[in-house]
Structures are given as structure tokens and as C-alpha cells.
Amino acid sequence: MASEESPLLTSSSDGDKTAHDVVYDRFTRGQKRWFVFIVSCAGLLPKFVAASFVPSIPQVARELHSTHAAVSLTISLSTFATAIGTLVWATYSSFYGRRAMYLCGIPFLCVGSCGVAMSNSLRSLLFWQFVQTFGCSGGLSLGAGVIGDIYKLEERGIGIGIFLGSTLFGFAVAPFLGGAAAQYWFWRNLHHSLAAWGLLELLLIYLSFPETSHPGTLGIDKITRRKWIHISYINPLSSLWLLRSPNLFAVMLASSLVLISDYVLLVPLAYTIGIRYGITNKAIIGACFLPNGLGNFIGAPLAGRLSDVVLRKWQKKRRGVWSPEDRLRAIWIGGLFMVPLSIGVSGLLTAYVGGPIGLLLNLLCLFVNGMGVIFVLNPIGSYNVDVVHTQSAEITAANVCVRSLILSIATALVIPSIEHVGVARTNIIVAILALLGQGIIFLTIRYGDRMRASVDVGFSTIENN
């Protein structure tokens, strides 16, 4: 088990690289950047599929002769499909490999997207929406696993930062494109485009993306006698068992409490900023999501670099001793200031400040919130990969699964809360929840070694990280 007593690896006295170094030098820097680009494109898909559909709900409801509420079930179904799919793809990636799971999952996305585009009934739409989301839901967990495979401990933050920033940027850009498609194009064409995107991604992975898992670590490699097509059953829910560890559960809960602020600002945006400032055009409402995505995109590399710098700084203070929780110290600027202030101020602005000034300041709050959220999620994502490196995809999947369920509940409650207590009070409550999450992070940093010692789920040491 990794602990504060884990010393840093050093090269041998004759200058030769250790086996630990060699496994990360299998790919050149250019190859690693290309792999990050590919997995970031795949990580965009789950958020894009869900968020791009929201602005077209009224159009879909009219065409299928259904109600807005009934068509909105696709959002809940997408959340459920993401929770299930990410566990399946992550669990099997440790047995068959990351590349194999990408190649198996993306065809589901392509077929499901075509099915959604051709749906003529609500039942058909719900079925194909599930298939579509299930196919791309491994993007987050598999991508985190790939980053952990190719980057060393001290370099991992920047890779995770770019990857997470890209996925969250997709969540912000998707409503704009979905709104533009609903306003000026056709919602069915949007899903045909998603199928084409999936095919392009499949081609890129097939031609230029090798298996990144460390040699000899896959379950299939350990089977001496196997058939040409070897099929094994692995319980996909086993990944959730990692969260019995107090520290892993704590950081998952803290990240969920912070990410709620993102959803509370963005999901009801048409009902808050849209109504308050008289914006009815779907494309313009979608464009209001862009500052948040821009904050994610700009903040991602900064947050990743900061978490790596903080980790190295504290290793130096400890005279070369690695404490995994040191990376979490990079969270404070986002978690204590940017996130709670941005959402609290946005609620007050929406309630009390009208006109162009109110709108402009609200858009600034969305930008700051986007940066703040990524400053929290990046160190936590890197920390998860650090402490259970051999199960990096599984712990990411477990986080995505439980976090999706928490966010689905929060999303269902946000509009009723705004209607009953107002947007200002709702946002202030969420800001308090975000600060509560930072309290959980503080306790994890302070007592992380004891928390890891209480329940050992196979924590990594510096030697296998």
C-alpha cells in the first residue's frame, strides 16, 4: 500500500533507466500527445451526445406527437446508460485492453445514433438513445486509464487536465451546436453527424492507436490456453467496490458536490438567464454555455500543470517521500474561491441585476465557474489514477457512475428549487455544498495515510506508479 513512507524512485548509479522509467518511454512525446488527442475526442462524445439533445427536445416532442416531459426522459436514460456503460467498458479494459474496448464500444454509438435519427416513436427514440449513450460511455474511464498508462506520476496532471478540459468543454459547446441545429437545421441530421464522428474516431483508433496498457498486465495475457475468440465474464459492478475505501469515496463525493454547481448553472440556463434577459433564440441560449466551456478549456492545462508542480514541491519538502494526497492541495484556488463565488454571485445577479450589464457579468461567472470546476476535478482525477494506478480505468468508472447518479438527482431538483425558493437562494445553497466538499478534501489531505491504511483496495506504491 502506498503511504507517506514511499520513497521516490531514482535511476541506478550507472545512469541506466529503471524498468519503471522504461515502461513510460515506450512512446515518444509526439505519440503521447496524439494519444491524448484521440482519447479526448472519444471523451467528448458522452457529454456531447447528452447535452446536444437538450435544445432539440421541443422540436422532437412536436414531431413524435409527445410531450416535453416524456421526451426529457431521454436525459435520465442517458445518465443511466452512462453509469452502466462506463463500468462495463472500464472493467473489461483491464482484461482485454483499452484499444479493444474503444473498438467494441464506438460501433454501438454509430448504430445508436443512426437509430435515434430514424426514430418515429418515443419508444424507439428511448431504445436507440440508450444504445447510443452506452456505446460512447467508456470515453471518460478509458481515457483516464490511457493517461495513466503513458504518463509518469510527476507528469500525469497535465495529461489528465487536457483530457478533462476537453470533455467538459464538449458539455458546454454541445448545447450551442444542438440549439443551432434545432433552430436552423434538423435534429435528425445532428445524430447522423454523431454517427459520422464515431466512424472517424473508430478509424483513427484502428489505424493509429496501439494498446497502451503496460506489458503483461492485462487479464487476457495471463491466460495460457485460450481460444481464438476468448470470451470471459467479469462483473462490471466490481469497480464500485473500490469506493469502499474512505479516501476514494471522499474525493468522489467532493468532486460531485463541486460539479453540481456546473449543472445548476447550465441545465436551467434557458429558465434563468434566458427568461431574465429575454433570450428566446435557441442558438443564442446555447451560445451562453460557451463561456463555461472556455473556462474549462483554458483552465485545464493550468490546473494540470499546477497539480504536478504542487506534487513535486511537496515531495521536495518531504525530502523525496511521496504522499499521494499532496496533489489535492492544488484544489484550493478553485474549490474555495472560484466555484462558490461564481455560482453565488451568478444567482444574485440573475435575481437583482437586469439588462446587458447583468447578462455580461453572468457570462463572466460562467467562465470563472468553468475554470474553478476544472481546478478541482483535475487534481482529484489525477489523484485517483495515482493511488490505484493498476485500476485507473475502474476507479474513474466508479466515480463517473456514482457521480452521474448524484448529478441526475441534483438536476431533477434544480428547477423545482428555483421555482420554490428562487435562483439566488438555490445558487447559494449549491455554493455552500461546494464549500462542504472542500472540507472533505481538507480531511482527506490531513488523514489520507490513515484512511488508506483502514481499507486497502490495492493501493499503488511509487515503485508501480
CATH assignment at residue 346? 1.20.1250.20
How many residues appear in the chain?
465
DSSP H or E segment with residue 273: none
**Cell numbers placing 357:** 450589464
At 20 the pLDDT is: 63
Domain coverage including residue 196 = 23-218+236-464
Domain count, the chain: 1
C-alpha closest to that of 39 among 174, 155, 205: 205
Rounded CA separation 371/299 (Å): 5
CA 414 centroid distance within chain: 21
At 179 the pLDDT is: 72
At 64 the pLDDT is: 86
Q: What are the C-alpha distances in Å from 184 to residues 67, 105, 179, 400, 454?
A: 22, 31, 8, 34, 57
Please report whether residue 343 resides in a domain: yes
The answer to whether 286 and 273 are in contact (CB under 8 A) is no
Burial of 437 (0-12, 13-18, 19+ CB in 10 A): buried
The answer to whether 308 and 157 are in contact (CB under 8 A) is yes
Please report whether residue 18 resides in a domain: no
At 291 the pLDDT is: 92
Please report whether residue 229 resides in a domain: no
Please report whether residue 11 resides in a domain: no
φ, ψ dihedrals at 140, nearest 5°: -75, -50
At 70 the pLDDT is: 74
DSSP H or E segment with residue 288: none
Amino acid residing at 121: S
Give, to the nearest 10 degrees, the angle between helix 355-387 and helix 392-421.
150
At 355 the pLDDT is: 92
Question: At 440, is the secondary structure helix, strand, or coil?
Answer: helix
Please report whether residue 28 resides in a domain: yes
Rounded CA separation 69/303 (Å): 38
Please report whether residue 87 resides in a domain: yes
At 301 the pLDDT is: 86
**pLDDT tens by residue, the chain, 465 residues:** 444 444 443 444 445 566 666 888 899 999 999 999 999 999 888 878 877 777 777 778 888 888 766 776 777 788 788 889 999 999 999 889 999 999 999 999 999 999 999 999 989 998 999 999 999 999 889 999 999 999 988 888 888 888 888 887 777 777 777 777 767 778 888 899 999 999 999 999 999 999 999 888 887 877 766 666 667 778 888 899 999 999 999 999 999 999 999 889 987 887 889 889 998 877 787 788 889 888 988 898 899 899 999 999 999 998 888 899 999 999 999 999 999 999 999 999 999 998 999 999 999 999 999 999 999 999 999 999 999 988 888 999 999 889 988 887 887 788 889 989 999 999 999 999 999 999 999 999 999 999 999 999 989 887 777
pTM of the entire structure?
A: 0.81
Please report whether residue 310 resides in a domain: yes
Please report whether residue 7 resides in a domain: no
At 12 the pLDDT is: 40
Burial of 30 (0-12, 13-18, 19+ CB in 10 A): exposed
